[in-house]
Every structure is written in structure tokens, then in C-alpha cells.
Amino acid sequence: MPTDLNPLRGTFSTALATTLSTAMLALALPAMANPDPSDWQNVVAEAEGQTVYWNAWGGDTRTNRYIEWVAEQMQAQFGIEVEHVKLDDTGSAVARVLAEKQAGNSDDGSIDLIWINGENFAAMRENDLLFGPFAEALPHFALTNAAENPEVVTDFTLPTEGYESPWGKAQITFYYDSAQTEAPPQDMPSLLDWAEENPGQFSYPRIPDFTGSTFLKQALIELTEQDEALYQPVSESDFEAVTEPLWAYLDALHPHLWRSGRTFPDSGPNLRTLMSDGELSLAFSFYPTDAAVAVMEYELPESVRSYVLAGGTLGNVHFVAIPYNSPHKAGAMVLADFLLSPQAQAEKQSLAMWGDRSVLDIAQLDAADQALFQQGERHPSELPADALSNTLPEPHPSWMTALQDAWLERYGVN
């Protein structure tokens, strides 16, 4: 409401004087300088007492309970409060930071840390929405051994350049009920054959869900003869020609999916629920231990087994990043560093907590830290240790957005 039209503010002259006085005071106060990531002792001191608003996907009980554990540790070890702002779509957080920038809010943003990768990272970098570089200054970052593990500094083909810090690994992993299926499909063509023989027993999450979109990329990598185009911006390729085999495949697959492809599950966890209810007998997750944890927690039958496709499956590293206008950058950096600690990485990888794979080079850790990752015998529903050796790299982030838009145009039924 304009000042001169608000009777609660008095006369226009009084309001103007107040406005000018406030503006002069603001000019007199120096803007708070960003903490220097290289001065870690000062970062930790400044972080104490801060509240870090961590925007992270909240669609799975396992990730949520891990973040709750992290919050407890941050308070106990550093005197930092962590508030988990649960997201359905990371893109909404990106849009919020962009809106704050457009409104001139450069110092008091609403997000301190964001779980992010792929097209969302690309969008934030393109619009100068991230603080950094900071990641390689984190004390625990060296434990990733980035020189030998370049995936921790590369996000969907883009170099991270220190603007996001790795904290977990994901890879498409299929799981099936071995009591119903003896020989699960090993590639996309055989998946179509299997679906035809087992109608209604498979599906994938509705686009633009991240897991569903990853399924599209997995299929496209296998089916197109122009897969090299996927690692360049989509604008540099003939999108229709590259993706034509994918749409032909989905046209053939959809009639044999759960509910005949007229509707799709909401998310990866929803696929797991449908498996638990007996509506599906084949599903997949972006977390390799997802099925094993579900069996341990009596969500899935003991006959469930995990596997990856014969030619490998799509995988990536997920990251955390700090928006440029976070008012609690020191606390956010301390949190990002804690997420890289052997303690936090081992707890995250534990099947009793989440089962998310570590980004640390465990072989380079000292004996005491390596011992944190020893979890005894492999669970029968878990993948063999070497099963994830063939990881397919993520395409350029522009492909994900283009595939989502094209899918919605063709099949956006709900």
C-alpha cells in the first residue's frame, strides 16, 4: 500500500521523513561481509547460534529421518539449528531465490542450503544465484579424492567449480519379486517384452518426477543411435530425430503398464508402495539399497531382489549448494562440511538409516574411519558389491527439461 494512502502512517510528510531517515540509516550500516571459506576457524565461530534453513526433498521417510539425525548432530556438535524445509519440487526453491533476486533481496534470503543437482544447478549458475566457490575449502572435501573421482566435481556434464558440495550417490536399480519372476528383463527391449507378458505389473513415476525423468533418459540412452548428442546442449541436436525411438518405445510400452498407462505413480517411493501392495512385481529406484531397506523394514517381502541392467544404469552424484543471498552462509558451510564427514557419510550409507551411497573415497580413509562403513554381511535383497561398476553418465541438463516437456505434451494425462 502506498505510504500516502495509509491512514495508519500519518501525514505524507511524516512518512517521507521516516522513509528518508530509514534509508540514511541503512546506508550508514555496512553490509555484512560473506564469510571466507578458507578461514575455517572463523566460519565455525560465526556459524554457532545460526539457524540454517535447508531446503531438501521431503518425499521419503528415509531421507527425512536422516536429515533429522543430521539436525540433532549439528545442534549437539556445533550449536547450529537445522530446519528441514521439505520440498515436493526443487524447482520451486530455485524459483524463490530468483524471485528474491528480482525483488532486490540480496542479503536476507529465505534459503540457506539446498539439495540440488542437474538442471536446477544449471539454472542457478546461469542466473548467478549461488554463493561460492566454497566446496573445495571444506575440510572434509579432500576425503572425496576428487582428482581420482571427477564425478564429485561434475554435475550433469557441467563442472561444479566449487559452487556445490557432494554428499551422496544415486544410480538406477531395479528390483523384483523373485517368487513371481525368475528372469527379470536385462535391457529396455526385454523390458517391453516382459511388460507384454506381465500386463499391469510395471510402471514408472509420472513426469516431471525426478525418478520418472531418469527412466526416460535411461531408455533414450539405450534406444537412440545418437547417444553422443545427449552430452551436448539439446539446442545443438535434432531433438525429434534423436528422441524418435524413445517415443515409439513408450507408445508400445504404455498399454501394458499399471492401469494401462492411463495414469502413473507419483514418485519412486510410490512405486515401492505399489510393490508392497502386490500391484507391481517389478519396479526401480534411484537408490541402490532401496529394496533391501524396505525388506528390512517389512515393507517388501523377503523374496525381493535387486539388480542393474546388463549394459549399466544411469547414475549421478547429488549435491548441496548455498544461495547467493543466504543470511547464514557460515552455518550452511559447516553443515555441508559435516555431511562430508566419515561419521555422517557412514550413518547415511547404513541400511538402518537411509542406505544412500557415500561420496568419500573410503579406501583412502584411515582404519578407524573405514571401520565406520563396515556393515557385516550383505543383505540378500541388496546388490553385490561390484554391481554398480558400470555407471552411465548423466546427459547435459538441457535434455532433462526438453524430455519432460515433450513427454507432458504427448502423455500428460494427470
Tallying the residues shown for the chain, one arrives at: 414
Amino acid at 200: G
Q: Which of 69, 47, 70, 48 is nearest to 134 (CA)?
A: 47
With bands split at pLDDT 50, 70 and 90, how would you rate the model's confidence at 395?
A: very high
Express each pLDDT in 90-129 by its tens digit: 999 999 999 999 999 999 999 999 999 999 999 999 999 9
Neighbouring C-beta atoms of residue 307, cutoff 10 Å: 18
Looking at the predicted structure, is the pLDDT value of residue 4 above 80? no
**Position 23 confidence tier, pLDDT thresholds 50, 70, 90:** very low
**One-letter amino acid of 356:** D
Between 369 and 412, residue with greater pLDDT: 369
pLDDT band at 16 (very low <50, low <70, confident <90, very high): very low
pLDDT recorded at residue 25 = 38
* 95 φ/ψ angles, rounded to the nearest 5 degrees: -65, -35
pLDDT, residue 29, reads 37
Quote the CA–CA distance of 104 and 100 in Å, as a whole number. Answer: 6
pLDDT at residue 133, rounded to an integer: 98
The C-alpha R_g of the chain, in whole angstroms, comes to 24
Q: Where are the domains of the chain?
A: 40-168+316-371, 173-307+390-411
Per-residue pLDDT at 375: 77
H or E, element range at 316: strand 313-321
For residue 267, give the nearest of 285, 253, 252 by alpha carbon.
285
Which three three-digit cell numbers place residue 291? 529394496
Is the Cβ–Cβ distance between 321 and 158 less than 8 Å?
Answer: no
pLDDT the model gives residue 377: 80
- Confidence bin at 48 (pLDDT 50/70/90): very high
Return the number of other C-beta atoms located less than 10 Å from residue 329's C-beta: 26
Cα 49 to Cα 128: distance, rounded to the nearest angstrom: 28
CATH of domain 173-307+390-411: 3.40.190.10
Is 40-168+316-371's fold the same as 173-307+390-411's?
A: yes
Window from 3-17, 66-80, 133-147, 167-181 with minimum mean pLDDT: 3-17
pLDDT of residue 236: 96
Contacts (Cβ under 8 Å, ≥6 apart) of 300: 175, 272, 275, 276, 291, 294, 381
Residue 30, pLDDT score: 40
Task: pLDDT band for 50, please (50, 70, 90 cuts).
Answer: very high
Fold for 40-168+316-371, please state it: D-Maltodextrin-Binding Protein; domain 2 (3.40.190)
Instruction: Tell me what pLDDT residue 27 has.
Output: 38
pLDDT at 11 over 60: no
Mean pLDDT score of the chain? 90
Predicted model pTM: 0.86
Instruction: List, for residues 330-363, the tens digit of each pLDDT value.
Output: 999 999 999 999 999 999 999 989 999 999 999 9
What pLDDT was estimated at residue 32?
Answer: 59
pLDDT in tens, 263-313: 999 999 999 999 999 999 999 999 899 999 999 999 999 999 999 999 999
Confidence category of residue 144, pLDDT binned at 50, 70, 90: very high
In this predicted structure, the answer to whether residue 28 has a pLDDT above a threshold of 80 is no
Judge whether residue 73 has pLDDT over 50. Answer: yes
pLDDT at 159 over 50: yes
Query: Would you state the pLDDT for residue 379?
Result: 87
Average pLDDT over residues 156-180: 95
Q: Has residue 222 got a pLDDT over 50?
A: yes
Q: Starting from the edge strand earliest in sequence, which strands make up the sheet with 304-307, in order? A: 282-285, 173-177, 304-307
